[in-house]
Structure 1
Amino acid sequence: MSGSSATATAVCFVWLGMVLAISFLEAPIKFRAPGVTVPIGLSIGRLVFRALNIIECVFAAALLVAIPLAAPQPAALVAPLVAVAALLGQLGGVRPWLNQRTKAVLAGATRARSRGHYVYVAMEGVKVIALALGGILLLVSAP
């Protein structure tokens, strides 16, 4: 396995682990902790997801550099690119929508549950599948 292929594979699996740990474990659990109100949970969530998204952008950039250098099979190229596209969709489309709602709730407005969260979670699911598949395909297609 070349250095670029190993790097791309590692990035896929580390990114996958972070998304699973934060989006599917930390985010829902924090609201069940005693004393955590919706505004407190939202404030924590904003900080955590801002940090996650910054790291995800670094991982996406690393994949965009490492994958072409690794010259993998076409399927191993497409799956990580789907994860990058999902991230860009979240950052450009869904996050601004959720940020507006969060700001309003933190300012004291009462709002109905947002469908934006469902869209965000669906895109997280796409990233999980794409990163797992991409990491596996990179691993098995390495010369």
Structure 2
Amino acid sequence: MSTVITREDAMRYGTAGRLAQGFALLAAAGTLAGCGLSGGNTGQVCADTREAFRQYVSQVRAVPANDPAQWKQVTDRFAGRVDGLARQAEDEKLKNALKTEANRLRGAAAGVGSGDAAQLNAVMTDAPDRIGAACD
């Protein structure tokens, strides 16, 4: 018996897998473990960012693969949340990293809304390292 993987399946499982992998990297020991060492509210903003990623992963996993408009909506909301975290950050390096990721997520949301998850995959692959570097 052969299994056919549709574009929707590839989008759903490929992106969800990347999201889960990205979250795992973000939450991994060392990536955000140094949060708070530089003073200010960096530790709290990094912890809130980690939680935002976790919630986003949960939300995306609940979205049907054949509903790209809903993927866009969830991703846009997440970008807004990351933007809000950037506004809260007192550390300029963290603020800039979060603003950059929010903008990248907005760009990815447009693509995922039309069924193309490539840009979202790219964002979720390197976001943990980019944000983690700002949290150290």
TM-score range, shorter chain: 0.5 to 0.7
Which residue matches 1:122?
122
Residues 32-72 of structure 1: per-residue CA shift (max 9 Å, x gap): xxxx5613xx3443332232221111111222xx014xxxx
- 2:46 pairs with 1:12: yes
Q: CA RMSD in A?
A: 3.0
State the TM-score, normalized to the length of structure 2.
Answer: 0.55
Please list every run of 5 or more consecutive structure 2 residues that lacks an aligned counterpart in the other structure. 1-35
C-alpha displacement at 1:80, in angstroms? Answer: 5.7
Once residues 46 and 97 of structure 1 are traced to their aligned partners in structure 2, the CA distance between those partners, rounded to angstroms, is 8
Distance of aligned partners of 1:9 and 1:38 in 2 relative to their CA distance in 1, 3 Å threshold: same
Once residues 42 and 119 of structure 2 are traced to their aligned partners in structure 1, the CA distance between those partners, rounded to angstroms, is 27
2:86 to 60, 63, 70: 60
Within 5 Å, which residues of 2 pair with 1:39-54?
39=67, 42-54=68-80
C-alpha displacement at 1:22, in angstroms? Answer: 1.4
Please list every run of 5 or more consecutive structure 1 residues that lacks an aligned counterpart in the other structure. 69-76, 103-113, 138-143
Once residues 78 and 123 of structure 2 are traced to their aligned partners in structure 1, the CA distance between those partners, rounded to angstroms, is 15
Equivalenced residue count is 100
Distance of aligned partners of 1:80 and 1:16 in 2 relative to their CA distance in 1, 3 Å threshold: farther
Which residue matches 1:88?
103
Identity %: 7
Structure with more contact order per residue of length (Cα contacts < 8 Å, sep ≥ 6): 1
Higher helix share: 1
State the TM-score, normalized to the length of structure 1.
Answer: 0.52
Within 5 Å, which residues of 2 pair with 1:18-29?
18-23=52-57, 25-27=58-60, 29=61
Once residues 129 and 37 of structure 1 are traced to their aligned partners in structure 2, the CA distance between those partners, rounded to angstroms, is 27
Distance of aligned partners of 1:119 and 1:37 in 2 relative to their CA distance in 1, 3 Å threshold: closer
Which of the pair has more CA radius of gyration?
A: 1
